Structure 1
Amino acid sequence: METHPGFPANFLAGGSASFAELLRTEGTPPGVPADAGGPHGTTIVAASYADGVVISGDRRATMGNVIALHDVRKVFAADEESIIGIAGSAGVAKELVKLFQVELEHFEKVEGTRLSFEGKANRLGALLRAHLPSAMQGLTVLPLFAGWDRTAAAGRMFTYDPTGGRYEEHRHAALGSGAAYARSALKKLHDPDADELTTVTVLLQSLFDAADDDAATSGLDLTRGVMPVVMRASADGVVRWDPDRVRAVAEDIVAARARRHGGPKGGAL
């Protein structure tokens, strides 16, 4: 067979006249399918309140149509003033969280001062951009970043796209497979001037609604006692709610839903 420099022999061989067929057999191998990889985290919600911002995340991780884990944690303290929630490929997401935590700590040690809240949000976007090749192979991670901005003296929150683009949310936010359902509940119930307890109740209501329609969201698992992780950031710093306190709110919500299956028409309960 005659050969030409720079062209594999198969490109000059006889056969199908279809270029699409040629690409299928000789072209670049296909990437990893979008559902490849390990367990995927699901729904994260956040909302502002009178003194800061609250984030909550359900505990379920899925692999396709299979529930992989019932007690995955998806909400973490990034530092003493900010919180990060994760959805997407669970293993990669947790590594991103660890890297972000070390990044903030390293900056503080080297520079002798903390990054501004805006700087933290930008740095998280840069880490996501560095992760883009893996995201294009199906190992996508989407964070929700929130915390207390000392400069603005207010709670703030950002969502991101896989390319690292960041978008500030001014009232509430949701991401993950159940985000559309949770966001609908937040639109109806959220009051930015409410207190912390009321806002936590609203977030748990939104997770209940998400679990009602999204099989990948666990909602309020009273049977196993696995409660959503709830964390708040305010001028006093980041605090994780005790699981027993979360359960008490969850039990009130489930009791109220027994009386009104569709949930509250207005207000937290």
Structure 2
Amino acid sequence: MTPQDPASAVHGAAPPSFSDHLARHHPELLPSSRRLGPASAASTSAAAPQATTIVALTYAGGVLMAGDRRATMGNMIASRHIKKVFPADNYSVVGIAGTAGLAIDMIRLFQVELEHYDKIEGTPMSLDGKSNRLAAMVRSNLPLALQGLAVVPLFAGYDTERHLGRLFSYDVTGGRYEEYEHHSVGSGSVFARGALKKLWKPGLDEEQAVAVAVEALYDAADDDSATGGPDLVRQLWPVVYVVNSAGAREIPERELHITAQELVSRRSAAGLEG
């Protein structure tokens, strides 16, 4: 019989889930392990910056996700520069709505989770596996969500097995739902979704998809005070990622500047003509 390595005997084989590893050895490091004192959900959520709004849509050859740059704290603007869309790995992106601090911690853990799985298993996790893993993380945050600190992500990626872009939404209990064509989350989502319904069409190319996403966020900002639209004065633009067979790529600010400027000019001209 081959002698067993002492370290292996004590710790066992390395689990493919980094979150499970933390839960086993250092549970206090998990975002879901935080505990709050007695407080109402309303007062708790008002005291923490909230991130909104995220839109996502499919286009010919891939999927796109975009988020505005505003975070609010009650009736105040907490930040005009927050980023709400991040690459999860080479072929997927994740956007956040809800309590900003917890959401960013969850995204960082999710990024490490996917990298850890890749190193342990020697192959990337499937897109369905990624979306399910994120659902488990959202579910683990339920106790905090019930205290007003909810995190509601939007996940999108390119399925290298099926060769198409796919997107997934979640609820606070960790429910995972695959969305088709387009979706939006956050306080301005109802307005963004209305714009997406009118602007989205099958077969959009990448440039058209970017324009649709920027206009949807513009419409959301027009009616939702918690959503920040393109800011020509401060030179602030949404964060936009596209994911296709070549991987995830952030749209440069110079391209977003042109898109936003064209949108504002078109809306201004329409207003003058009206």
Fold match (TM-score > 0.5): yes
Q: Indicate whether 1:65 and 2:75 are aligned.
A: yes
Once the two structures are superposed, residues 142-183 of structure 1 have per-residue CA deviations (whole angstroms, 9 ceiling, x without a partner) of 100001001111000001000100111110010000000000
Q: Indicate whether 1:95 and 2:105 are aligned.
A: yes
Summarize the alignment of residues 105-144 of structure 1 with structure 2, pairs less than 5 Å apart: 105-144=115-154
What is the CA distance between 1:38 and its match in structure 2?
1.6
* Number of equivalences: 235
The match for 1:250 among 255, 260, 265 is: 260
Distance 1:30 1:89 in 2: 16
Which residue of structure 1 lines up, in the alignment, with residue 156 of structure 2?
146
Say if 2:65 and 2:242, in contact at 8 Å, map to a contact too. yes
Identity %: 50
The match for 2:198 among 188, 191, 197 is: 188
Q: Indicate whether 1:201 and 2:211 are aligned.
A: yes
Q: Indicate whether 1:159 and 2:152 are aligned.
A: no
Letter matched to residue 155 of structure 1: G
Distance 1:100 1:170 in 2: 23
Say if 1:36 and 1:139, in contact at 8 Å, map to a contact too. no
**Structure number with higher helix proportion:** 2
What runs of 5+ residues in structure 2 fail to find an aligned partner? 1-37
SS of 1:86 mapped into structure 2: strand
Say if 1:191 and 1:199, in contact at 8 Å, map to a contact too. no
- Calculate the TM-score normalised by the size of structure 2: 0.83
The match for 1:173 among 183, 187, 195 is: 183
Letter matched to residue 62 of structure 1: T
Which residue of structure 1 lines up, in the alignment, with residue 93 of structure 2?
83
Distance 1:202 1:41 in 2: 21
The match for 1:228 among 226, 229, 238 is: 238
Say if 2:221 and 2:227, in contact at 8 Å, map to a contact too. yes
- Calculate the TM-score normalised by the size of structure 1: 0.85
What runs of 5+ residues in structure 1 fail to find an aligned partner? 1-28, 263-269
Letter matched to residue 138 of structure 1: G
What is the CA distance between 1:31 and its match in structure 2?
4.3
What is the CA distance between 1:217 and its match in structure 2?
0.5
Query: After the TM superposition, which segments of 4 or more aligned residues of structure 1 sit over 2 Å from their partners?
Result: 29-37
Q: Indicate whether 1:240 and 2:250 are aligned.
A: yes
Which residue of structure 2 lines up, in the alignment, with residue 46 of structure 1?
56
Distance 2:73 2:165 in 1: 34
Once the two structures are superposed, residues 72-106 of structure 1 have per-residue CA deviations (whole angstroms, 9 ceiling, x without a partner) of 00000000000000010001110000000000000
SS of 2:143 mapped into structure 1: helix
Letter matched to residue 115 of structure 1: M
The match for 1:218 among 223, 228, 235 is: 228
